[in-house]
Amino acid sequence: MDMIIWNCRGASNARFRRTLRELVSLHKPDMLILMETKVELNTMGMSFNNLEYTASTHVDPIGRSGSIWLLWNPSQANVRVHDATSQMITATISRQEYPNWVLLAVYASLTIRKRDEL
């Protein structure tokens, strides 16, 4: 399974969208994990659907910090999300003819107290 994991540090600008389209076109990943987007997923409109990532789970930022987005093409993988917090998303990934595996996408807080909670 191919995936892109990107600490994009902001997803609301044209440069991010252009770069993402280029990466997806070049690598054709089944899944995207985007961190530190600094915006809510719903601000992206149909951008991801147009790239065939029609399934998602996400943790939106608090203010303009943090966030984790997990997006996938449901024809390529089945994703069952177990937990989603401000610092992580945990999911089981399954595909035909492959063993299931667990994905843990972590974006730890800079605040020690919050990181200790993780």
Domain hosting 28: range is 3-117
**Six-digit token pair at 68?**
């984790």
Tens digit of each residue's pLDDT (9 = 90 or more) over 80-104:
999 999 899 999 999 989 999 999 9
Provide the number of structural domains found in the chain.
1
* Band (61; pLDDT cuts 50, 70, 90): confident
Q: Residue 75's domain is classified under what CATH number?
A: 3.60.10.10
Backbone φ and ψ for 110, nearest 5 degrees, come out as: -75, -20
Q: Rounded to two decimals, what is the model's pTM?
A: 0.90
- Cα 27 to chain center, whole Å? 16
